[in-house]
Amino acid sequence: MVHKPLSDHVASLEAAANRVGVHDCAKTLTLSTDQSTSNSSVDCESSASPAEEYPEAARKAIHPQLGAERPFEIILGEHIGSGGMADVDSAIQMSLSREVVIKRVKSGLNTEANYDALRREAFIMGQLEHPNIPPVHEVAYIDDEPLVIMKRIYGTSWNCTGRPGNRESLLADLQILIQISRAIEYAQSKGIIHRDIKPANVMIGDFGEVYLLDWGCAVELDGSGNFHSTGFQGTPRYAAPEMVEGSEPLTHQTDVYLLGATLHHILTGHGPHMGKSFVDTVIVAVESPEREYDKEIDAELAAIANRATSRQPAGRFETATEFREAIEEYVRYFHLHDLLISAERSSQALKNALETAEDDFFSFYQHAFAGRFACQQVLEIRPENEESHRINTEILLLLTTHEIRRMHLTTARELIKQIHSLPHDEAALLKLEQFYGKQENKQQRADELSTQIQYKLLEKLQNPDLQH
């Protein structure tokens, strides 16, 4: 439910988006009720291949004075790309003969406010010397125009398509997420939040390097660990509720939410807020309901994603470190999850056999024993694993049902005792015990009838007169 003040705020955001013609909720937006601009995400470190040599006509030397006697000489190369506010060009830093990129304010947007925004981004990135954050080499000037000189990165954008069934791909994506979390951990140690974490802002270098890009929305928190925003900056499809509400300050847990939203993308192939319109997307972001994931998605990962994207910051992981450690714990025991997948398949095979009445004696017990063995292997290493307890009990319930149907009641009774000692669904066990009771009554009546027939036969044998 969206309260009145919030609906007014959402309406103002929609109006701002309409004014600048931005409706793609997967793109980075910078919106306020006073002055709104669109800032679509741009890869400042392009994946384009370097030219054999720079065209002679494109060469242009820049000599920004940096307080030293000799100039910091840069030769401009090819144009790489553009964003909402900035252009990015390749260049050569002559003193070290190395490739760099230069980010500058677009021609026509040369305002002091945009210069300040570019300088602020460079200043924040300059404080973040970390392997997963592209380094800024220098802020230089030409004719009072600031130029940010950064590392040139070759690679590709993170192709995070949401394939939880592909275990190899899932593991690779989670390892990338761990590195992105480390970048955010470091930023948090400096009192900085990113505000626009998402797969589109991650680049994978040609040699496996992982970089979190686009720090244009990043801000420093105050001494209390808060940032009071005057407008929305970020990507609606991934945004934390407090980012779009505007009534609560942003904190480190805002970036924790964005890490959780990125995990959601890993699991599903899209951001968590999938409204049909801009307003719908914003409302979903504000409400941030707990999500039910498909069965093919491991329950432990689903729980991590739901906790990280909790509606209330207090319900989330407290820091990026806690989030990373939860993902690392999952990855550490990744092979155990493969065992659980195998056990789940065995359980499903037992269900199918009972539902279709295709009672292949050998195959049924083979699935039952294989599934239980896989669960027991998991429990030996992680006794607290809820999923293995659930599947193990489920297999026992199915096996007991099979034994009752075959009228192996002594075996069934022992299995029921075993289930009582394990975590179980009371309703499911009660239903099974009722079925057992009915079959036991049938067995008793059959035994009584058999006994009566035997007595009758014995009586006839002992009394010859009854034989005629």
Does residue 71 have a pLDDT over 60? Answer: no
Q: Topology of domain 56-151, per CATH?
A: Phosphorylase Kinase; domain 1 (3.30.200)
d(CA 195, CA 120): 15
Percent of the chain whose pLDDT exceeds 90:
50
CB burial of residue 208 (10 Å; 0-12, 13-18, 19+): exposed
Does residue 43 have a pLDDT over 90? Answer: no
Does residue 251 have a pLDDT over 70? Answer: yes
d(CA 391, CA 401): 15
Beta bridge partners of 81: 88
Indicate the pLDDT class of residue 451, thresholds 50, 70 and 90.
Answer: confident
Lowest-confidence pick of 256-270, 289-303, 443-457: 443-457
pLDDT, position 448: 74
∠ CA 305-310-313, nearest 5°, is: 125
Decide if domain 4-38+155-332 falls under CATH 1.10.510.10. yes
Q: Are strands 192-193 and 136-142 parallel, antiparallel or unpaired?
A: unpaired
Residue 128 corresponds to which tokens in the numbers above? 């973040």
Does residue 57 have a pLDDT over 50? Answer: no
d(CA 50, CA 296): 42
Residue in the structure block whose two tokens are 């037992």: 350
In single-letter form, the type of residue at position 71 comes to P
CB burial of residue 427 (10 Å; 0-12, 13-18, 19+): exposed
Model pLDDT for residues 83-111, shown as the tens digit of each residue: 778 899 999 988 888 999 999 999 888 88
pLDDT, position 55: 37
Model pLDDT for residues 286-335, shown as the tens digit of each residue: 999 999 998 888 888 999 999 999 999 999 999 999 999 999 999 998 88
Model pLDDT for residues 152-208, shown as the tens digit of each residue: 999 999 988 767 678 889 999 999 999 999 999 999 999 999 999 999 999 999 999
Average pLDDT over residues 335-349: 91
pLDDT, position 26: 81
Model pLDDT for residues 192-222, shown as the tens digit of each residue: 999 999 999 999 999 999 999 989 899 999 9
Q: Cβ contacts of residue 427 below 8 Å, gap of 6+?
A: none
Q: Cβ contacts of residue 11 below 8 Å, gap of 6+?
A: 279
Q: Cβ contacts of residue 138 below 8 Å, gap of 6+?
A: 66, 72, 148, 149
Pairwise pLDDT comparison (403 vs 14), residue with the higher score: 403
- Between the alpha carbon of residue 107 and those of residues 57, 71, 114, 317, the distances in Å are 20, 25, 11, 43
Cβ–Cβ under 8 Å, residues 90 and 152 = yes
- Give the number of other Cβ atoms within 10 Å of residue 307's Cβ: 17
pLDDT, position 125: 92
pLDDT, position 74: 83
pLDDT, position 160: 82
Residue 240 corresponds to which tokens in the numbers above? 């934390």
Does residue 47 have a pLDDT over 50? Answer: no
Domain with CATH 3.30.200.20 in the chain: 56-151
Cβ–Cβ under 8 Å, residues 303 and 264 = no
d(CA 292, CA 303): 10
Average pLDDT over residues 64-89: 73
Does residue 113 have a pLDDT over 50? Answer: yes
Cβ–Cβ under 8 Å, residues 331 and 171 = yes
pLDDT, position 467: 56
pLDDT, position 35: 41
Cβ–Cβ under 8 Å, residues 14 and 282 = yes
Domain with CATH 1.10.510.10 in the chain: 4-38+155-332
Model pLDDT for residues 122-133, shown as the tens digit of each residue: 999 999 999 999
